[in-house]
A and B are shown apart, each in its own frame.
Chain A
Amino acid sequence: MARKLMKGNEAIGEAAIKAGCHLFFGYPITPQNELPEYMSKRLPEIGGTFVQAESEVAAINMVYGAAGTGSRVMTSSSSPGISLKQEGISYIAGSELPCVIVNIVRGGPGLGGIQPAQSDYFQSTKGGGHGDYKLIVLAPSTVQEMVDLVQEAFDLADKYRNPVMILGDGMLGQMMEPVEFKEREIKKVDHSSWATVGMGDREKPNIVNSLYLDPQELEDHNHKLQRKYDEITANEIRYETYNCENAEIILIAYGTTARIVQDVIPMAKEKGIKLGLIKPITLWPFPYDVFNDYVDSTKAFLSVEMSMGQMVEDVKLAVNGKKPVHFYGRSGGMIPTPEGILENVIEVLGGLE
């Protein structure tokens, strides 16, 4: 199929539609506006439904309701709006509902700014809402990867009855790249055993709920969720590695930042420095184990982020004290430059000798 030049935000919309998502509930916020705008145009054309909610709080609860019927549903926002959605996300996770939530991250905290950032790593991967729950968090770094991951996100959500978050940033949402929508079959999943689709022939009504007043019941529910999270961790970890064999320093970066790091590798090589890159694609579950493959051969790890240092905590857990773990980040919408990263690498190396 021919490649199309598409803006990241719009490509997400088209990918979702091609994955069988016919319901979208959104609310305007920069830098993700093109996604709800695209859905408002496209969904009616295919018999789907777009609703601009009165707030992010309402939008995520519309998602809760629609997901509770077993329908493929998506919402999107950017950081401050995602913060508002956290209550609903906790309910969705607690009620084990499948849905896809897109976060096109901008700088924070508070109202912050509108330029790209990665400072929502914590609120995405560690549970931004209350309670013990996990989202599957997918971090694309190109528009094509975003398209592929959005489509997979719906399958993962259905398979595990779990919310999936696509964690992008303002740059990925705004940029255009060629994309190809690969023909893929929409995996129809039978949700009738739990979804609120009418009584049918059932004896008992299906109830979508996250309330367990009996502590033992709630603990059992948490254990059940945990078993599911263990299964996801066993099956769904994704990452890519570049040049990690015998790298002096291994950089860890995801999303846009991983692309910038890819430009640093040849620059470092010219200076005689061998750099590797681990690019996590699932931020939760985080690819802790891959670090074991390289921890003996490398001198140090450097986490590069558009934040004040969030993923670096997972890197430290992964490295487990066996080698030094460093951090380099820009924040507030400032984007690390290849030159800035290289300078930091040299500093780290100097400190080692």
Chain B
Amino acid sequence: MKHEVIIAGFGGQGVMLMGQLLAYSSMLEDKNVSWLPSYGPEMRGGTANCMVIVSDRQVASPLITAPSALVAMNLPSLTKFADSVKDGGVVLYNSSLIDEEYQRDGITSIGLPFNDLAVELGNARVANIVALGSLLSATDICDKDSVIDSIKSVLPERHHHLLPLNEKALEKGLSLVN
């Protein structure tokens, strides 16, 4: 088992956190993980991405050239990474911000309105958690409970009143793909 996930979007869309939660949750399930961010000036305003590897063997290169899954939160991210997704892989893209359709033979590609769904839940900022939920249902990388545990550890104590909202967002995401 080896999942190679790229999560990409604008700086500020929470893509780094999404990747960290994925890595953290998988670590809680005793898997080997790595999380590699893009860094530098591009992070301010431009596109940001992180690469997460989850494996039952030791992670060698943390760099992903052919992802098994891509979460694209905006169009530049989809354009940049979608064609590199390997056969049998998954592309989940944010149709709230991406008008185009993306389909290709040999992969599963689904457009989902992460932003709109987050707004429906009452807070636009949980779009990343909705997306994470959909990634879990599309890939089975780790369990929902592990993600909730890791949100608890990552979220500062003073923000813990947001836990129920995050759980709802995660469940929403999980229900999107079957």
Q: Is A98 an interface residue (CB 8 A)?
A: no
Q: Is A192 an interface residue (CB 8 A)?
A: no
Residues of chain A contacted by B59 (CB below 8 angstroms): 177, 259
**Which of the residues A5, A174, A176, A262 comes within 8 Å of B61, measured between beta carbons?**
A262
- Closest-by-CB residue of A relative to B20 is A176
In the complex, are the beta carbons of A31 and B35 less than 8 A apart? Answer: no
Tell me whether chain B's interface is mostly helix, strand or loop, or mixed.
Answer: mixed
Question: Of B36-44, B134-142, B156-164, which stretch is located at the interface?
Answer: B36-44
Q: Is B27 an interface residue (CB 8 A)?
A: yes
In the complex, are the beta carbons of A337 and B40 less than 8 A apart? Answer: no
In the complex, are the beta carbons of A114 and B39 less than 8 A apart? Answer: yes
In the complex, are the beta carbons of B39 and A263 less than 8 A apart? Answer: no
Residues of chain B contacted by A208 (CB below 8 angstroms): none
In the complex, are the beta carbons of B62 and A171 less than 8 A apart? Answer: yes
CB distance from B34 to the nearest CB of A (A): 5
Q: Is A260 an interface residue (CB 8 A)?
A: yes
In the complex, are the beta carbons of A30 and B24 less than 8 A apart? Answer: no
Residues of chain B contacted by A260 (CB below 8 angstroms): 60-61, 63
In the complex, are the beta carbons of B63 and A335 less than 8 A apart? Answer: yes
Interface residues of B in 41-84 (CB under 8 A from A): 59-63, 65
Q: Is B23 an interface residue (CB 8 A)?
A: yes
Query: Chain B: how many interface residues by the 8 Å CB criterion?
Result: 18
Q: Is A52 an interface residue (CB 8 A)?
A: no
A334→B33 CA distance, assembly (Å): 23
In the complex, are the beta carbons of A114 and B27 less than 8 A apart? Answer: no
A31→B38 CA distance, assembly (Å): 11
Q: Is A3 an interface residue (CB 8 A)?
A: yes
CB distance from A296 to the nearest CB of B (A): 28
Residues of chain B contacted by A262 (CB below 8 angstroms): 60-61
A115→B38 CA distance, assembly (Å): 9
Q: Is A205 an interface residue (CB 8 A)?
A: no
- Closest-by-CB residue of B relative to A175 is B36
A5→B61 CA distance, assembly (Å): 17
Residues of chain B contacted by A256 (CB below 8 angstroms): 62
Residues of chain A contacted by B62 (CB below 8 angstroms): 171, 175, 177, 256, 259
- Closest-by-CB residue of B relative to A115 is B40
Interface residues of A in 93-119 (CB under 8 A from B): 114-115
In the complex, are the beta carbons of A177 and B60 less than 8 A apart? Answer: no
Query: Of B37, B40, B59, B61, which is in contact with the most chain A CB atoms at under 10 Å from its CB?
Result: B61
**Which of the residues B20, B40, B60, B63 comes within 8 Å of A5, measured between beta carbons?**
B20
A3→B20 CA distance, assembly (Å): 15
In the complex, are the beta carbons of B34 and A177 less than 8 A apart? Answer: yes
In the complex, are the beta carbons of A114 and B40 less than 8 A apart? Answer: yes
18 extra interchain contacts, Cβ-Cβ under 8 A, other than A115-B40, A171-B63, A337-B63?
A: A3-B27, A5-B35, A30-B39, A171-B36, A171-B62, A174-B39, A176-B20, A176-B23, A176-B34, A176-B36, A178-B27, A178-B33, A259-B59, A259-B62, A260-B60, A260-B61, A263-B61, A335-B63
